[in-house]
């Protein structure tokens, strides 16, 4: 079976880490994977080549920038529509030329790339990783078209599936947890300084890094030795400047470092005492929490979205209100001051993800979906989605 995967980026974020894990572990005697992404210069392109037996292609038409209207004027919108038609023709030709039988849209936006192309002979897997796309006013129309074309929806968490099916009664979504690979090695560098607190995620208001800085401001008054590193690419420059300004205004320049995207992020996790991930908006199933728990690390996360499916409060980590600065600061201090607590929570976390988030379970369920075997209800996956 030949499967085409579509990616809107060549950078590596949570969705791309999950795709790479799938490509590394899928049975390539049964599946011949093809992937198209915007260019051949990013880390995703390089990692796909390293895997081997993956047919990797680049075309700039898959980038968000190429498809985004240059302006909201009728002309700008019209030109974006024309570019989308050109992209559809390219993908249609690619599917025919390579005898593709399944198209796997890895993120919400890539669903649009193939919307008009899917026939009854081509199966489309639409991977829903957040509720943003489905909350748009046009989604009801898209959903009607997708259902008519026998599209199979997959969500990364049970909470996301429940949220969308409650809003769209005719949707049938299969929750399949992302899988964690055993023994993934770290890419070490000469600058892996140890930090007490680590935050990993793109620099964006939804990731709530400002909230963490405010918490560290409180901690600094009694624990001036605490060091924090923020890792992640900048996707909102104004928010990035706000973070830098708050760090400087509170005299935290020596305590908080913004390090950008790091391919060796796992090494930072291993060296840290606590990982903080406190988004203020719905986060379906943060990959970084899974990676941290696998390394037996204590994670403090927001009590929203699919995060409680990963963190059982006071057992596999700690849940906090993403708007309560004092609560976050107190939790961080409690974890940093108690070595035994960190070891106990970390051990629980590691055992939990090994049992519930196996890469082999993920691959097996995706293979069944590719070959046409799926259940029709969220409850059917309670073994893996609890």
Could you give the domains of the chain? 2-179+358-381 (3.40.50.2000), 197-356 (3.40.50.2000)
Query: Is the CA virtual torsion 131, 132, 136, 139 positive or negative?
Result: negative
Instruction: Give 141's pLDDT tier (boundaries 50, 70, 90).
Output: low
**Where residue 100 falls among pLDDT bands split at 50, 70, 90?**
very high
pLDDT of residue 334: 97
Instruction: Using the predicted structure, report yes or no on whether residue 97 has a pLDDT greater than 80.
Output: yes
Please provide the DSSP assignment of 124-178 as one string: EEEEE-SSTGGGSTTHHHHHHHHHHTT-EEEESSHHHHHHHHHH-TT--EEE-PP
What's the predicted TM-score (pTM) here?
A: 0.87
Share of the chain above pLDDT 90, in %: 66
The reported pLDDT for the residue numbered 379 is: 40
Q: Which range is least confidently modeled, 16-25, 114-123, 260-269?
A: 114-123
Q: Tell me what pLDDT residue 269 has.
A: 95
The pLDDT, as a whole number, for residue 26 is: 95
Torsions phi, psi of 219, nearest 5? Answer: -65, -35
Q: How far is CA 351 from CA 172, 293, 295, 346, in A?
A: 31, 9, 10, 9
Terminal-residue alpha carbon distance, the chain: 31
**Burial class (CB within 10 angstroms; exposed 0-12, middle 13-18, buried 19+) of 287:** buried
Higher-confidence residue of 291 and 115: namely 291
Tell me what pLDDT residue 167 has.
81
DSSP 71-120: SSSHHHHHHHHHHHHHHHHHHHHHHHHTT--EEEE-STTTHHHHTTT--T
pLDDT at residue 135 in the model: 64
Residue 360 has pLDDT above 90, yes or no: yes
> What proportion of the chain, given as a percentage, has pLDDT over 70?
88
Match 């060549």 to its residue by tokens.
10
Q: What is the pLDDT of residues 148-182, one digit of tens each?
A: 566 888 999 999 999 888 887 777 889 999 999 97
**Structure confidence at residue 386 (pLDDT):** 31
């Amino acid at each position: 079976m030949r499967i085409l995967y579509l990616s809107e980026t060549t950078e590596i974020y949570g969705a791309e880490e999950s795709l790479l894990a799938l490509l590394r572990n899928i049975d390539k005697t049964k599946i011949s994977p093809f992937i198209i992404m915007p260019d051949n210069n990013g880390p995703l392109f390089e990692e796909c080549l390293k895997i081997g037996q993956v047919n990797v292609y680049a075309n700039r038409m898959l980038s968000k920038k190429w498809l985004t209207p240059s302006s909201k004027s009728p002309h700008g919108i019209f030109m974006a529509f024309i570019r989308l038609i050109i992209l559809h023709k390219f993908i249609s030709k690619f599917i025919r030329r390579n005898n593709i039988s399944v198209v796997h849209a890895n993120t919400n936006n890539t669903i649009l790339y193939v919307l008009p192309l899917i026939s009854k002979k081509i199966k489309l897997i639409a991977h829903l990783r957040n509720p943003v796309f489905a909350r748009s006013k046009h989604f009801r129309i898209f959903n009607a078209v997708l259902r008519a074309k026998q599209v199979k929806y997959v969500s990364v968490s049970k909470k996301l599936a429940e949220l969308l099916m409650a809003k769209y009664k005719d949707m049938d979504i299969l929750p399949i947890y992302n899988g964690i690979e055993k023994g993934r090695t770290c890419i070490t560098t000469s600058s892996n300084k140890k930090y007490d607190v680590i935050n990993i995620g793109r620099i964006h208001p939804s990731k709530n890094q400002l909230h963490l800085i405010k918490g560290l401001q409180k901690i600094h008054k009694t624990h001036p030795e605490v060091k924090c590193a923020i890792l992640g690419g900048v996707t909102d420059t104004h928010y990035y400047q706000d973070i830098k300004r708050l760090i400087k205004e509170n005299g935290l320049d020596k305590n908080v470092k913004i390090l950008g995207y790091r391919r060796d992020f796992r090494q930072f996790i291993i060296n840290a005492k606590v990982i903080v991930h406190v988004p203020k908006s719905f986060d379906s199933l943060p990959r970084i929490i899974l990676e941290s728990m696998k390394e037996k690390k204590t994670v403090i996360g927001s009590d929203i979205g699919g995060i409680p499916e990963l963190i059982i409060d006071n057992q596999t980590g700690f849940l906090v209100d993403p708007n309560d600065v004092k609560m976050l600061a107190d939790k961080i201090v409690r974890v940093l001051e108690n070595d035994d607590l960190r070891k106990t929570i970390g051990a629980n976390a590691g055992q939990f993800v090994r049992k519930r988030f196996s890469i082999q379970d993920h691959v097996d369920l995706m293979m069944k979906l590719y070959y046409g075997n799926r259940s029709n209800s969220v409850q059917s996956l309670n073994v893996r989605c609890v």
